[in-house]
Every structure is written in structure tokens, then in C-alpha cells.
């Protein structure tokens, strides 16, 4: 099996490539990224198995990666931009139009499977959400947020290219809030201090998963020959946000919504790690997901959190 991983120099790109190196089903891995690895990056274990192609999914030159590597079986698409320093149009070009371009190239060059990592925030945190959201629920995320709007549009772009009997077969993995030392994630920022802010009077059901469980789900999506469609991915527990906070050894800090809105947005912006990820509804209303399909079809079982 030959696998192409976009966003190869990002946190999940590196984690997945290392995992696939150990999988005997995978014979060749091609990484695609806008930039090379940093000089201090640890080299991958098997340089014969992995090659990096430097290219931008927004540019026409990216087609060369398929021309130089015929017979790609699976593409895992994780090239996305959530930098607060980039213009909104540039971010949309990467996240939405870049994804569409990669799907079209995958179809043109006979790639059998296209895997896309999406977040569960696309469902939206709404007061009328059911206890657990299934994959067929509408995407009602906050379209006022450019970050979430791009995620919704990219997810829907993948859905609109799901055609029975036409390659590539498309898999969407909708992952809940993620923590881990090797990835940039809003939850890492939220849980960085000793106190975690909450909206006073609210304690929604919440889901968190570890970066290693995300990597496991991605690997299963790559190697499962029959799987296609949408899969919700989450950790072991669905519990109140206060329990999540305490389990991480932190203390909850309930604050009035009007004050927290100002503090929270400034706090995320000051970190300069990613754009403001969501409005405070995600700390007020549940957006927990049902992972039954991932367990039954992919064989996914969270191992860490």
C-alpha cells in the first residue's frame, strides 16, 4: 500500500507517518507539505519508506507529487491553515479550495481512498442538540467564525464528492476536542494554566481525546479496505466539563459570560498558536458524539483517554 499524507510536517502528519512506518501493510509513504522539516527534527525510522515532497495544495505544481509517485492507494488530507496571522482568503484557499483540488487530483490519478480529519465542532454546540450526535446530523456550527465556517465547508465539500462506485472512496473522521504535547489544539491552550474558565451556570457534557487515539483512528481509516463514509471519533468518556477539568488535575473557574467572552478571546489570540476556535456556546451546550459506527466498522477503541 502506498500512502500520501498532506500536512506532513504538522503535528498529526508526523505522528501518523511514524505510525504508518511500523505498519507492514504500508510499503511507501509520501509526505506533502508547504515546508521542509526543521533542521532539528528527528528523522523518521525508515528513510527508504518515506519521502517528502514540498508543495502547496493551492498551487498547480502540487500535481507533480502524483506524477512522480504513480499508484498512490490512499491519501490522508491534513493540510489546513488555522494561523491567526494569515489573511482570511488565504486560509480559505488552503482549507476549502485546497481540499477540493486534492480530491480532484486523487480522482484523476486513481487514488482509491481519501481520508479527511474534521472536527466535531462542525455540528455546533446548540441548546437543542441530542445527548449524542450521530453522523447524519446536520452541521450547525457557528458560521460567524471563519475557522468553523471553513471546517464546515470543507467537510461538506468531501461529502459532495462521495459517489458510490466512483474513486476515491471518501472517509471523514470527525474528532472531538484533542489534547497532546505534539499537536496545536485549542484544548492544549485551554488546559495550559492551573485554572480552566467556564461559563457561570453551565456544565455541559464534554468529550476529550488524546493525540495518540486520533492517530490510531487515522491509521485504521487508512488500512481498513472496506470502510467509507463519516465516522465520529471521541475518547473513552462522555462527562460534564467540570469532571474533565478535574481529571486533568486543573480547577474550574466559573466566570460571567460577558467577562469571559472578552478574556477568552484575548487569551487565545495572545498565544498566537491558532485563530479563535469557537464561541462560548461550546462551554455552555453539549456537542458530544456517538462513536458506535467507528467502533463497529473501523474497529476503533480509544486507548489513552
Residue 235 CB partners (closer than 8 Å, separation 6+): 176, 207, 208, 209, 210, 213, 302, 304, 305
With a cut of 90, say whether residue 90 has pLDDT above it: no
Which pLDDT tens digit goes with each residue over 144-183? 888 889 999 999 999 999 999 999 999 999 999 999 999 9
Q: What is the mean predicted confidence (pLDDT) over 262-287?
A: 72
Cβ contact 300:220 at 8 Å: yes
Identify the pLDDT of residue 1: 97
Note the helical H segments in 112-228. Answer: 146-160, 186-190, 211-223
Distance CA 305, CA 302 (A): 7
- Report the C-alpha gap between 154 and 131 in whole angstroms: 25
Which range of 48-62, 88-102, 183-197, 225-239 scores highest in mean pLDDT? It is: 225-239
- Measured between alpha carbons, how far is residue 81 from residues 7, 89, 108, 250, 269 in Å? 10, 11, 25, 30, 15
pLDDT tier at 266, thresholds 50, 70, 90: confident
Q: What SS3 class is residue 245?
A: helix
Q: How many CA atoms lie less than 13 Å away from 14 in the CB half-sphere?
A: 14
| Residues 93-143: tens digit of each pLDDT | 888 999 999 999 999 999 999 999 999 999 999 999 999 999 999 999 988
Highest mean pLDDT among 145-159, 226-240, 275-289: 226-240
Share of the chain above pLDDT 90, in %: 72
What is the C-alpha to C-alpha distance for residues 177 and 302, in angstroms, rounded to an integer? 14
In this prediction, residues 44-65 reach a mean pLDDT of 85
- Tell me the average pLDDT across 215-244: 97
What is the second-level CATH architecture of the domain 2-182+207-239+288-298? 3-Layer(aba) Sandwich (3.40)
Condensed to tens digits (0 to 9), the pLDDT of residues 2-36 reads: 999 999 999 999 999 999 999 999 999 999 998 88
- pLDDT of 250 higher than 60: yes
Mean pLDDT, residues 210-224:
98
Residue 91 has pLDDT above 90, yes or no: no
193 — pLDDT class (breaks 50, 70, 90) = confident
| For range 181-186, the mean pLDDT | 88
User: CB of 169 within 8 A of CB of 114?
Assistant: yes
pLDDT of the residue at 148: 86
Cα 170 from Cα 55, distance rounded (Å)? 23
Domain boundaries, the chain: 2-182+207-239+288-298
By the 8 A CB rule, do 33 and 52 touch? yes
Question: Predicted confidence band at 83 (pLDDT cuts at 50, 70, 90)?
Answer: low
Distance (Å, rounded) from C-alpha 290 to C-alpha 268?
Answer: 29
Helix (H, G, I), strand (E, B) or coil at 117: strand
Amino acid at each position: 500500500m502506498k500512502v500520501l499524507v498532506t500536512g506532513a510536517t504538522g503535528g498529526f502528519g508526523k505522528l501518523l507517518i511514524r505510525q504508518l512506518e511500523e505498519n507492514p501493510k504500508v510499503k511507501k509513504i509520501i509526505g506533502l507539505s508547504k515546508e521542509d522539516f526543521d533542521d532539528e527534527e528527528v528523522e523518521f525510522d525508515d528513510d527508504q519508506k518515506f519521502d517528502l515532497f514540498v508543495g502547496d495544495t493551492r498551487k498547480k505544481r502540487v500535481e507533480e507529487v502524483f506524477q512522480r509517485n504513480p499508484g498512490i492507494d490512499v491519501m490522508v488530507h491534513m493540510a489546513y491553515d488555522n494561523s491567526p496571522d494569515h489573511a482570511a482568503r488565504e486560509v480559505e484557499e488552503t482549507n476549502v479550495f485546497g481540499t477540493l483540488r486534492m480530491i480532484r487530483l486523487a480522482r484523476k490519478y486513481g487514488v482509491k481512498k481519501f481520508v479527511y480529519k474534521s472536527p466535531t465542532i462542525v455540528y455546533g454546540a446548540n441548546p437543542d442538540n441530542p445527548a449524542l450526535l450521530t453522523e447524519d446530523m446536520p452541521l450547525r456550527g457557528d458560521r460567524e467564525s471563519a475557522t468553523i465556517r471553513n471546517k464546515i465547508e470543507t467537510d461538506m465539500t468531501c461529502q459532495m464528492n462521495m459517489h458510490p462506485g466512483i474513486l476515491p472512496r471518501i472517509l471523514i473522521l470527525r474528532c472531538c476536542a484533542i489534547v497532546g504535547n505534539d499537536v496545536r489544539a485549542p484544548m492544549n491552550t485551554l488546559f495550559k494554566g492551573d485554572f480552566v474558565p467556564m461559563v457561570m451556570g453551565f456544565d455541559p457534557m464534554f468529550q476529550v481525546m488524546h493525540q495518540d487515539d486520533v492517530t490510531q483512528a487515522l491509521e485504521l481509516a487508512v488500512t481498513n479496505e472496506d470502510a467509507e463514509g463519516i465516522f465520529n471519533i471521541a475518547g473513552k468518556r462522555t462527562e460534564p466539563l467540570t469532571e474533565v477539568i478535574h481529571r486533568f488535575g486543573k480547577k474550574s473557574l466559573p466566570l460571567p459570560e460577558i467577562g469571559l467572552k472578552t478574556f477568552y478571546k484575548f487569551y487565545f489570540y495572545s498565544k498566537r498558536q491558532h485563530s479563535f476556535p469557537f464561541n462560548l456556546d461550546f462551554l455552555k451546550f453539549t456537542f458530544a458524539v456517538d462513536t458506535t459506527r467507528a467502533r463497529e466498522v473501523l474497529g476503533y477503541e480509544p486507548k489513552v483517554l
